[in-house]
Structure 1
Amino acid sequence: MTEPDGANGADSPDGADDAVYVSLDLWYPDCWEIEATERFDVGMLGYGIYTTGERVTTLFTLYADEQATIDAAVDHVAASPHVHEVSEIRPTYRHATAPVAGNAMRDLLVDHDGRTQITPELTSRGFVCAEPIDIRDGREYWSLVTNHDRDAVRTKLDAVSDAKDAVIDIRRITTSHWQSAASGLPTDRLTRRQLEVFRLARDSGYYDWPREATAGELAAELGISTSTLHEHLHKVEAKLLGQRPRG
């Protein structure tokens, strides 16, 4: 498990036992979701999870630039030995009033083998999902909350890593009081690239005061120019605030 410098975040000003927000990305073997995003240029958002013994049903949104890419990924998922059944939800009800420009989408209920997933290893150790699980480019991006202190968080994530042979990178550990407002933002209005840029900026402390990351640092990590980063963030902020971006 790796952790960037400065990932501790700010302590609670009143010394109270606030919940802790943990942002991380991870990889582990034999995960059909990760394999699908490695093989196809598609992303997946995992929402509600229903468990009945060893079988798990999860609501996913698949997103890509073209519908053909999603179709190929769905066929690949359905053929996985860890997947029992794939059911499509029509219409795409969560995006009926907030379409994502330039992106194809498809909502699925997937009945699959929960024993291959990392979710039970996290939830059994007191971690709760604060946002949908974002799976893209062969990695899973998690936003978690817990009442463990930071030392316990690291110890428990080490245990998860050992149990699943996982590579876990902690992007940020901080108190969660600021997160409640961010979690209500309409991020489903964002394109795939905008969502990636926004989450990196937020998780890196770009919106904190004082800022914990500069635009130049974010641009370097994304492999883009600073002006392009500012353009992405301008469009993101306009969409999240319900305004029409200029230009």
Structure 2
Amino acid sequence: MRACDAPPSTADALRLTLEVWHPDCWVLQTTRQAAVGLLSYGVFTRTDGCATTLFTLYGDTTSALDDGVSAIRSASAVFDVASMTRDHRGRGQTHGRLQAGNATRELLVDHDGTTQISEAFTDRGFVPAEAVDARDDTEHWTLLTQHDRETVERLLDEVRAGWDATIAVTSITRGIRASERPPLPLDRLSSRQREVFRYARANGYYEHPRETDVSAIATALGLSSSTVHEHLRKAEAALLGTRFD
């Protein structure tokens, strides 16, 4: 095997979490028009610029999902939408009533790939580490790269300028080998649980020693400490595959 063929180690990679907004994005437009979020799991882009992406559409109720699908279908950049599965109801279901974020629908969407910002990151050596979570008119990205911090800032400035994008870096940490940390099934969580868990994780709540505490998280998110604690307990139970009563 030639040296250039060897897969790069991610032991010393930088792990970035970003909040991204860019104009004319049909995914973000969908989150503005309907009370839903979308998790995207990779884009296949053809030479003609058309792309196919697998999404998990999530919301509080199945009617919210219907609104989300209607918004997607009406987007000028979307060519076709196929539903992959029937609606799913998560662990939080109680007496037939869906809790927030527990209604999901898998969609395979054919669309204009030139309206999506993903290739602006991958062309510059950034590798998605998790599904992109679009909600409340913001895309939440987790990326790995072997660039140094100075190069990262320069490349992100290029993306900002080229896409007229707003990109906020919420954390930069040293990565670990992918085999040591499997991706978390964040689609098991409600939208509020996901927000609290992601913020806690990005700000060192799960580091040893802890770099933040429940009180600081509550202040940052405008919640009570008891509410943050409850969201984290339920998120941890869902991610560990434990039924929470």
Indicate the residue corresponding to 2:25 in structure 1.
31
Does the aligned pair in 2 maintain the 1:23–1:172 contact within 8 Å? yes
Does the aligned pair in 1 maintain the 2:34–2:71 contact within 8 Å? no
Indicate the residue corresponding to 1:3 in structure 2.
none
CA distance in 1, matches of 2:211, 2:77: 41
Name the stretch that deviates more: 195-204 or 179-188.
Answer: 179-188
Does the aligned pair in 2 maintain the 1:22–1:172 contact within 8 Å? yes
Indicate the residue corresponding to 2:85 in structure 1.
90
1:76, distance to aligned residue in structure 2 (A): 1.4
Provide the identity percentage: 46
What are the superposed Cα offsets for residues 176-213 of structure 1, whole Å, 9 maximum, x if unpaired? 11776554333332222211211111111111123222
Aligned residues: 228
CA distance in 2, matches of 1:245, 1:180: 28
Q: How does 1:1-247 map to 2 (within 5 A)?
A: 18-53=12-47, 54-91=49-86, 101=93, 102=99, 103-177=102-176, 181-246=180-245
After superposition, the Cα gap between the structure-2 partners of 1:115 and 1:184, relative to the gap in structure 1 and judged at 3 Å, is closer
After superposition, the Cα gap between the structure-2 partners of 1:154 and 1:144, relative to the gap in structure 1 and judged at 3 Å, is same
Describe the SS at the equivalent of 2:167.
Answer: strand
After superposition, the Cα gap between the structure-2 partners of 1:181 and 1:197, relative to the gap in structure 1 and judged at 3 Å, is farther
What are the superposed Cα offsets for residues 130-155 of structure 1, whole Å, 9 maximum, x if unpaired? 00000000000000001111111111
What are the superposed Cα offsets for residues 104-154 of structure 1, whole Å, 9 maximum, x if unpaired? 111111111111111111110000110000000000000000111111111
Q: Tell me which amino acid in the other structure corresponds to 1:83.
A: V
- TM-score (normalizing by structure 1): 0.86
After superposition, the Cα gap between the structure-2 partners of 1:46 and 1:87, relative to the gap in structure 1 and judged at 3 Å, is same
Q: Tell me which amino acid in the other structure corresponds to 1:162.
A: A
CA distance in 1, matches of 2:177, 2:196: 19
Describe the SS at the equivalent of 2:237.
Answer: helix
What are the superposed Cα offsets for residues 41-86 of structure 1, whole Å, 9 maximum, x if unpaired? 1010001311102011000011011111111121111111111111
- Which ranges in structure 1 are unaligned for 5 or more consecutive residues? 1-15
- TM-score (normalizing by structure 2): 0.86
After superposition, the Cα gap between the structure-2 partners of 1:200 and 1:165, relative to the gap in structure 1 and judged at 3 Å, is same
CA distance in 1, matches of 2:112, 2:27: 12
CA distance in 2, matches of 1:181, 1:99: 27
Does the aligned pair in 2 maintain the 1:20–1:173 contact within 8 Å? yes
- Which ranges in structure 2 are unaligned for 5 or more consecutive residues? 1-9, 94-98
Does the aligned pair in 2 maintain the 1:100–1:188 contact within 8 Å? no
Does the aligned pair in 1 maintain the 2:130–2:183 contact within 8 Å? no
After superposition, the Cα gap between the structure-2 partners of 1:62 and 1:100, relative to the gap in structure 1 and judged at 3 Å, is farther
